[in-house]
Structures are given as structure tokens and as C-alpha cells.
Amino acid sequence: MLILFGALLLLLVIGVPIAYALGLASLAYFMIEAPFGTGFVIQRFFAGINNYPLVSLPFFILMGLVMNSGGITQRLLDLSTFFVGRMKGGLGLVNVVGSMIFGGISGSSASDTASIGSVLIPEMERRGYPRSFAAGITVASSTMGMIIPPSVPMIIYAIAAEESIGRLFLGGIIPGIMVGLLQLVIVWRIAKARDYPTEVVPFTMKEALRQARRSAAVVIMPVLIVGSVVFGFVTPTETAGTAAVYGLIIGFFLVGFTVIKDLPGAMRNAIIMSAKIMMIIAFSQVFITVLALERVPDQLADFVEGLGLDATTFLLVSAVLILLAGTFIDVSPAILLLTPVLLPVAQNLGVSGVHFGVVLVSGLAVGACTPPVGNCLNVCAAICRLPIGQIFLGAAPFLMANVVVLGLLCVFPELVLWIPDAVMGP
């Protein structure tokens, strides 16, 4: 294990991409411990991606990219402004509500940051908000894109843990809404203390009907996606493909042939993003095989049992570890690295795989907003041209909502399991 983790740490320190670092560390292990088993690396590599549910990944990514280029963002922000714009710090509240809705469409925090941030950060600056405040809200609220269904990280975890995608989608609803509501309270309190402006918004039945008509086809999309998976009308893979086509149709009716013109670029980006994830998954399977050969999960389970930790304490300790790991490792590889190590221990203590998965993704969502690796920070920095450290300081008060919710999820599993059990049975 010293060879395995030592090689992995060294490769990461010198800047080798995580996928290749996992593969090379595993290869080093086999070359030293079992030279005649190096062919096993290739076998496990292809076995890792020979998984039918993985076909849904590029379709869900394409769906988010198509919706992003289809004129969806502005309509969602207009709808959010109608509901919360007249309150103190109206645009800050719009930022959070817009992320809650957009997170249920794109399934990606980075897409959320790019879409919402490119529109709202410049507008908030023009209305007198500090740039770091606007960027901080954008980054922190984008974390809901990983928690509120549909969620690409949830799909990756479901594949790694062999759990139900439908149950995981349902399990993320309450935690995602809790994060959004707490962030709204924090934004409102800060805006009230600093006397940030409100927005002039007509609050009439006519305007409500207009906003509902403009946004209904978009807002209903997450319900259709999650509902079709949960009730078994289609498989997750079929749902992803249908959702991509649905997004294309909506975009066509909203912006015409522009969405068709942008489709080749969206498909190219979806292919590149999916290929990166697939490479990580493939090499992580080799790494996981080595962990299994060395009985690392079993040894960790015995160690935890010797400490006498109960399920709640273990989850709280795991949450701290997840937050630390998310600071240095991107979301997808962190899921694939931590799941085979921590999940067996959690299950031995009676923790549901769905409960642990939502805790894992919720914790890693914070990591997407923390330096130095935070993907959302880097996306936001490219938009607002601020150092990632300054953006993180702006986001820190709002990320406290995520940390509080993460702690509550560890203590109260019903927050995750109530909806899945009510809809799909225990």
C-alpha cells in the first residue's frame, strides 16, 4: 500500500492528471508485487467502462449544454426575479433561486456557474454589489446543481456503488432545497445589513401568468426526468437521451435556429467532458481492484469497529474527510476513490448506500468551491476576472449553509431517505 499511495501522491504532486495518476500508481503496484499480473490492468481498464448506465452520462451533459445555449437562463432568471426580486438584495436572491431551478436542469455545478454567472455577475456590479459578493453567491449557489436532481455526480456514484439512480435523485431533493433556503436567508441578512438594492418588479396576476407561460416548459423538465426514472417508464439512459432531445426542441422554439447552430459545439464539449470522466472511471477501477486485493475496505471496517464508532459518528468523521478530499481532488475522481473505501464500512454500520451517497455528493459539492482545485472557482474566475482566493472569501458565508446541511444529513438520515422510501418503498 505504501507503493500504491506513495506513487499516487507523487504523481499528483508533479501535476499528472488524476486519471493517469491512478493508472500509473496501479501499474507500479503490479510491476513490483505481481509482475506477471500487469495484463490484468488492461482487463480492468476496459471492464470499468463496459457498463451500460454510463451511456447516460454524455446525454445528460449534452442536455445541460443544449439548455444553456437555448435561451433558457434568462427566462429562469426572469421567473426568479418575479418571486424574490422585490426583497432586499433582490439580485442576490435571484442568483440563489435561479441556481436552484437551473440545477434541476443542467445537473452540473460548473454549467450553473457559467450560465448564471455570465448574466448576473455583471448586472449585480452595475447595481452596486461588490464583485466578490456577486461571484461568491454565484459559486456557492451552484453547489445545488450537484445535489438537486438530475445530478451527474449522483449518476457516477450510483454506478460505482451499484445503487438505484432513481432513489439517489429523490434523496437529493430535500438536502438541495435546504441548502437553497439557508443560502437565501444568509443573502437576505447580509443585503439588509449592507442596504443592497431591491428590484422594481410588477407583482400582478397578468405578470405571473406571463412568467408561467414563458418558463413552464423549462421548469417541468426536472419533474419529467426524475419521474420517468423513478416510476420506471424508461431507463436512466433512455431518459437522458430523451431529455437531450427535449432540450433541443425547447431551445428551437425559444431561439430558433441558433440552438441548431450551437449543437455541434455542444456535442463536441459533451464528448470531451464524457471522455475525461470515462478515463477516470476506467483507471479508478484498476485502482479499486488493488484496494480490494489488499483488503483495504475490510481493514478499515475492522479498525472502525475496534474504535466502537456508531453510524452517526462515522458519518460525521467521513464528512470531514470528504470536505478535505474535495479541496484537493475533483468531484468525479473523489467519488470513485472514496466510495469503495468508505461505503463498505458505512454499510457494515447500517447506513444506507443512498444515504451515504447523498452525504458524499453534498460534501464534495463544497469542494468544488474551495481552492486550489475547485472547478466552480476556476469557471467563475474566468467570468469575473478575480483571483480564486478572493472569490472563495466571498463565497465562504454562503458555503456555511452547505456545511450545516451536511451535518444535519449525517445526524438525520430521514432527510435523505424519506422521499425515496415514500415514493419507491423502503
Give the Cα separation of 416 and 409 in Å (integer).
7
Q: What's the pLDDT score for residue 217?
A: 76
Q: What's the pLDDT score for residue 41?
A: 73
Place of cell 470522466: 277
% pLDDT > 90, the chain: 28
Q: What's the pLDDT score for residue 180?
A: 94
Q: What's the pLDDT score for residue 37?
A: 67
Give the Cα separation of 302 and 356 in Å (integer).
19
Q: What's the pLDDT score for residue 93?
A: 92
Q: What's the pLDDT score for residue 238?
A: 80
For residues 39 and 274, the model is more confident at: 274
Q: What's the pLDDT score for residue 306?
A: 78
Please answer whether residues 184 and 83 qualify as being in contact, where contact means their C-beta atoms are separated by less than 8 angstroms. Answer: no
Confidence grade of residue 347 (pLDDT, cut at 50, 70, 90): very high
Confidence grade of residue 302 (pLDDT, cut at 50, 70, 90): confident
Over 70: is that where the pLDDT of 71 sits?
no
Kindly state the average pLDDT of the residues 311-316.
94
Rounded to 5 degrees, what angle do the CA atoms 30, 318, 52 make?
55
Q: What's the pLDDT score for residue 38?
A: 66
* Sign of the alpha-carbon torsion through 92, 96, 99, 101: negative
Q: What's the pLDDT score for residue 104?
A: 66
Q: What's the pLDDT score for residue 413?
A: 96
Kindly state the average pLDDT of the residues 88-105.
85
Give the Cα separation of 297 and 341 in Å (integer).
5
Give me the amino acid identity at 118: S
- 321: CB partners within 8 A, 6+ apart: 338, 342
Q: What's the pLDDT score for residue 129?
A: 92
Q: What's the pLDDT score for residue 130?
A: 93
Over 60: is that where the pLDDT of 64 sits?
yes
Cis peptide before 371 (omega within 30 of 0): no
Confidence grade of residue 106 (pLDDT, cut at 50, 70, 90): low
Residue 309: CB atoms within 10 A of its CB come to 16
Q: What's the pLDDT score for residue 239?
A: 78
In angstroms, what CA-CA distances link 29 with 38, 89, 179, 328?
Answer: 9, 55, 42, 23
Taking only the tens place, the pLDDT of each residue in 225-258 is 778 877 777 777 787 788 778 778 877 776 666 6
Average predicted confidence (pLDDT) for the chain: 84
Give the Cα separation of 349 and 347 in Å (integer).
5
For the ranges 51-55, 94-98, 175-179, 196-200, which has the lowest average pLDDT? 51-55
Kindly state the average pLDDT of the residues 116-123.
84
Please answer whether residues 367 and 331 qualify as being in contact, where contact means their C-beta atoms are separated by less than 8 angstroms. Answer: yes
The DSSP secondary structure of 312-347, one letter per residue, reads HHHHHHHHHHHHHHHHHS-HHHHHHHHHHHHHHHHH
Taking only the tens place, the pLDDT of each residue in 124-167 is 888 889 999 999 999 999 898 889 888 888 988 998 898 988 89
Over 70: is that where the pLDDT of 287 sits?
yes
